[in-house]
């Protein structure tokens, strides 16, 4: 049997508070700090608790070449090696380890920077309900929000006194300015009114379509509405279409060169909102958006050029941000509304659309549709662009 250490693993010395009834009975709070080694591997979803001897042996294993297990056991503690195999950090070339091997290979083949790979793998959510978590937290404390968190940092980082500032002229209004001022994150949808096919396809086109394709010696690159590191555009749009004229409710992938939908499965109308809710981690205020879009980064597209690069993961996240803002503006121009959220159940989304987290990872969820007439959920609209009563915020003073 040959073995090899997984390609990326970080070991965190972590302290947590442990409650013990015995300690409480003996007097005191019953709570005591416990220090542990936690392994965060880029091919495993779970965090793994390690013993001291496992950490020591792990540090002596090569992630490079396959080695004969018995040869390794001649110089390292065999029982510890066995435990590392059980924990999935030392990988065997045997039949029963095929899945583990594949998961590790996907990280190896992805040109990941180690730190980014571990960060990405271990910041994904599964079955989180953010509203429920908020409710629970609210029940645990009756202290108001500000008291709990203390004051936030001020909105502006002022570096000089006011009289030292050089005033700049404000630009006159333009169509772009109107569009910018009309952009308000939507949390109230009109589910009774389907989106027209034209609004649907125009918003997708403006945001995600390839305007040109160029084939620079063997490298096909597309031109989109947004900038992208290396011009590589790794971000894919996976759609849950809920309420669009002429489009069957269901799951789709958007093809940016053909400007076409690739059907990935129907969704029964009565199941759609539940699915949307699972995607946006229980945020009911996004559940009824007519179109919900998971932005998933095809990492290898960008990492192919920026191999093991310290900035590459940051670059693909920025890509999702650019697309989201473009979607907001494209929707706003047509009188529609949009949203984005980073509080999403990435692992559920991977399951729904059949994505491998290290090859095509979910970074955010955005969406668009008709805004409702009533405010059930507060929106932040201090300019009164959408809601006549605004959001109770004062406007920035115009000279
Ligand atoms: C990266 C990112 C994550 C966000 N996540 C959430 C979220 O989880 N839930 C939510 O209701 N809004 C979310 N928003 C929307 C913001 O709350 C919103 O942009 C902010 O309140 C300002 O309102 P505006 O977009 O109308 O200007 C997110 C926005 C961004 C850019």
What pLDDT, in 10s, does the model give residues 133-177? 888 877 777 788 888 889 999 999 999 999 999 999 999 999 999
Answer yes or no: is pLDDT of 189 > 80. yes
Residue at which a domain ends, from 108, 124, 142: 108
User: Does 384 reside within a domain?
Assistant: no
SS3 244: strand
Q: How far is the CA of 75 from the centre of ligand 1 (A)?
A: 54
* Substitution site in 186, 340, 365, 386 for ligand 1 pocket (most atoms within 8 Å of beta carbon): 340
Is the beta carbon of 320 within 6 A of some atom in ligand 1? no
Determine the Cα–Cα distance for residues 138 and 242; give it in Å rounded to an integer: 32
87 and 206 both lie in a single domain: no
Going by pLDDT thresholds of 50, 70 and 90, the confidence category of residue 390 is low
116-126 pLDDT per residue, tens:
999 999 999 99
Which pLDDT score is estimated for 348? 98
Q: Determine the average pLDDT of the residues in 103-120.
A: 97
Return the bridge partners of 185, or none. 338
Q: Cβ distance 252 to 263 under 8 Å?
A: yes
Quote the ligand 1 centre to 354 CA distance (angstroms): 27
Is the minimum distance from the CB of 128 to ligand 1 under 6 angstroms? no
Q: In 109-248, where does DSSP find H-type helix?
A: 114-121, 130-140, 145-149, 175-182, 197-208
Residue 154 domain-assigned (yes or no): no
144 occurs within a structural domain: no
Q: Counting Cβ atoms within 10 Å, is residue 126 exposed (0-12), middle (13-18) or buried (19+)?
A: middle
pLDDT in tens, 269-316: 899 999 999 999 999 999 999 999 999 999 999 999 999 999 999 999
More confident site: 339 or 26: 339
Q: What does the alpha-carbon distance between residue 188 and residue 207 come to, in Å, rounded to a whole number?
A: 22
- Give the model's pLDDT for residue 21: 84
Q: Does 378 score more than 70 pLDDT?
A: yes
Position 12 in a domain: yes
Q: Is the dihedral of CA 383, 385, 386, 388 positive or negative?
A: positive
CA separation for the pair 124, 361 (Å, rounded):
9
* Predicted pLDDT at 392: 42
368 touches 324 (CB < 8 A): no
- Is residue 337 within 6 Å of ligand 1 at its C-beta? no
299 shares a domain with 180? yes
Label the pairing between strands 235-241 and 291-298.
antiparallel
pLDDT(393) > 60: no
180 and 104 belong to one structural domain: no
Same domain, 186 and 82: no
Rounded CA-CA distance 170/271 in Å is 49
Q: Is the pLDDT of residue 113 over 90?
A: yes
Lowest average pLDDT, out of 56-60, 141-145, 252-256, 374-378, goes to 141-145
* Local structure of 366: helix, strand or coil: strand
Ligand 1 atom closest to residue 286's alpha carbon, by position in its atom list: 11
Torsional class of 47: left (φ above 0), alpha (ψ -120 to 50), beta (otherwise): beta
Protein residue with its CA nearest to atom 16 in ligand 1: 185
The Cα–Cα gap between 230 and 170 comes to 34
Note whether residue 146 is domain-resident.
Answer: no
Domain boundary among 79, 108, 137: 108
Query: Given 83, 108, 133, which residue is the final one in a domain?
Result: 108
- pLDDT tens-digit series, residues 330-340: 999 999 999 99
Q: How many independent structural domains does the chain possess?
A: 2
- Closest ligand 1 atom to residue 187 Cα is 11
Centre of ligand 1 from the C-alpha of residue 340, in Å: 6
SS (H, E, C) 211-242: CEEEEECCEEEEECCCCCHHHCCCEEEEEEEC
Q: Give 341 Cα–ligand 1 centroid separation in angstroms.
A: 6
Question: Does 275 map to a domain?
Answer: yes
Mean pLDDT of 240-261: 98
Q: Distance, CA 261 to ligand 1 centroid (Å)?
A: 27
Place of tokens 């998971």: 294
pLDDT value at position 139? 77
365 close to ligand 1 (CB < 6 Angstrom): no
User: Looking at the structure, do residues 187 and 55 belong to the same domain, yes or no?
Assistant: no
Structure tokens at 238: 């996976």
CA–CA dist 83, 89 (Å, integer): 9
What's the chain's average pLDDT?
Answer: 94
- Pair 29, 20: CB distance under 8 Å: no
CATH code of 330's domain: 3.40.109.10
Asked if the model's pLDDT at residue 371 lies above 80, the reply is yes
Cβ–Cβ < 8 Å for 325, 304 = no
Same domain, 102 and 182: no
Beta bridge partners of 13: 37
Measured from the Cβ of residue 168, the count of other Cβ atoms closer than 10 Å reads 6
Average pLDDT over residues 97-113: 96
Q: Are residues 100 and 183 in the same domain?
A: no
Contact indicator for 276, 357 with CB cutoff of 8 Å? no
Query: Cα(313)–Cα(110) distance, rounded to whole angstroms?
Result: 12
Residue 114 placed within a domain = no
Q: Are residues 199 and 348 located together in one domain of the fold?
A: yes
pLDDT at 83: 98
What is the number of the ligand 1 atom nearest to the C-alpha of 281? 8
Ligand 1 pocket test target in 152, 185, 292, 314 with most atoms within 8 Å of CB = 185
Its domain, for residue 56, covers 2-108
Q: How many residues are given for the chain?
A: 399
Closest CA to 323 of 196, 205, 215, 213: 205
* The pair of three-digit structure tokens given for residue 191, joined into one six-digit string: 């589910």
Residue 36 has pLDDT above 60, yes or no: yes
C-alpha–C-alpha distance, residues 358 and 87, integer Å: 20
* Contact residues for 201 (Cβ-Cβ < 8 A; gap 6+): 259
Confidence of residue 398 (pLDDT cuts 50, 70, 90): very low
Cβ(277)–Cβ(349) below 8 Å: no
- pLDDT beyond 70 at 345: yes
Task: Please indicate, yes or no, whether residues 212 and 316 belong to a single structural domain of this protein.
Answer: yes
- In ligand 1, the atom with minimum distance to the C-alpha of 183 is 26
Regarding the beta carbon of 342 and ligand 1, being less than 6 Å apart is answered yes
Query: Is 362 contained in some domain?
Result: yes
The pTM of this model reads 0.94
Tokens of 139: 């029940």
């Amino acid at each position: 049997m040959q073995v090899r250490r997984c390609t990326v693993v970080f070991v965190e010395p972590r302290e947590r508070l442990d409650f013990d009834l015995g300690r409480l009975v003996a007097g005191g709070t019953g709570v005591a700090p416990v220090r542990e080694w936690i392994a965060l591997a880029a091919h495993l979803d779970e965090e793994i608790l390690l013993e001291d001897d496992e950490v020591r042996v792990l540090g002596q294993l090569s992630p490079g070449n396959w080695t004969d297990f018995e040869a390794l056991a001649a110089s390292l503690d065999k029982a510890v090696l066995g435990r590392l195999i059980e924990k999935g950090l030392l990988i065997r070339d045997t039949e029963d380890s095929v899945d583990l091997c594949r998961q590790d290979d996907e990280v190896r083949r992805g040109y990941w920077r180690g730190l980014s790979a571990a960060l990405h793998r271990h910041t994904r959510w599964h079955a989180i309900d953010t509203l429920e978590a908020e409710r629970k937290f609210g029940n645990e404390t009756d202290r108001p929000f500000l008291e709990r968190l203390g004051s936030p940092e001020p909105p502006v980082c002022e570096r000089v006194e006011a009289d030292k500032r050089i005033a700049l002229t404000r630009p006159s209004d333009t169509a772009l300015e109107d569009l910018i001022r009309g952009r308000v994150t939507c949390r109230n949808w009109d589910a009774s009114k389907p989106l027209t096919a034209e609004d649907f396809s125009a918003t997708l086109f403006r945001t995600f379509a390839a305007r040109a394709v160029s084939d620079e010696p063997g490298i096909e690159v597309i031109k989109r509405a947004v900038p992208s590191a290396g011009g590589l555009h790794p971000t894919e749009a996976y759609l849950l279409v809920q309420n669009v004229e002429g489009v069957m409710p269901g799951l789709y992938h958007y093809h940016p060169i053909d400007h076409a939908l690739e059907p990935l499965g129907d969704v029964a109308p009565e199941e759609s909102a539940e699915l949307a809710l699972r995607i946006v981690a229980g945020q009911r205020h996004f559940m009824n958006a007519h179109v919900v879009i998971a932005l998933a980064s095809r990492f290898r597209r960008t990492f192919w050029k920026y191999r093991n690069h310290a900035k590459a993961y940051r670059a693909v996240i920025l890509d999702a941000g650019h697309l989201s803002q473009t979607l907001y503006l494209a929707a706003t121009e047509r009188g529609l509304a949009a949203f984005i959220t980073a509080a999403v159940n990435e692992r559920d989304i991977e399951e729904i659309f059949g994505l491998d987290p290290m090859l095509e990872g979910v970074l955010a969820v955005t969406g668009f549709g008709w805004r409702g007439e009533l405010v059930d959920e507060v929106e932040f609209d201090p300019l009164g662009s959408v809601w006549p009563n605004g959001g109770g915020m004062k406007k920035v003073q115009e000279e």
